[in-house]
Amino acid sequence: MSETPKGFWGWALGPNADRNMLIFIVVICALLTVAGFIVPAEGVPFISDIPMGAAVAAFGAALVAVVASWPLRFLLRRRIGYYSEKDDPR
């Protein structure tokens, strides 16, 4: 049997998953920083000035939080057999 996780969220179970996610976040932040220097701020309306702009942004943020919870569950859950019988308080 292979030790490599399979399935859509298999990358979240790999040994380098936390490092890869951190690198992904750093790359996104760097790209947004570069875009902030390239795209001019003049003439761009503030998000609350756009009709339903704040609602769409809030929905997008909630959607990202929900979608991010699935791979985080795989990273944070305990392995089968994490607790042994010696830890059982009975």
Query: With the C-alpha atoms ordered 45, 49, 55, 58, is the resulting torsion angle positive or negative?
Result: positive
Q: What is the pTM of this model?
A: 0.45
Domain annotation covers residue 90: no
Domain annotation covers residue 63: yes
- Long-range contacts at 62-67 (CB < 8 A, ≥ 24 apart): none
Domain annotation covers residue 60: yes
What CA–CA distances, in Å, run from 90 to 85, 86, 87? 9, 9, 9
Top mean pLDDT of 10-14, 19-23, 55-59, 76-80 is at: 55-59
User: Would you tell me the crossing angle of helices 17-38 and 53-76 to the nearest 10 degrees?
Assistant: 160
Length of the chain: 90
Distance of CA 20 to the CA centre of its chain: 11
Residue span of the structural domain in which 19 resides: 10-40+50-76
Domain annotation covers residue 89: no
The percent of residues in the chain predicted with pLDDT above 70, rounded, is 74
Interval 47-77: pLDDT, tens: 778 888 889 989 999 999 888 887 777 777 7
Q: How confident is the model at residue 34 (pLDDT cuts 50, 70, 90)?
A: very high
Domain annotation covers residue 82: no
Report the domain count for the chain: 1
Domain annotation covers residue 69: yes
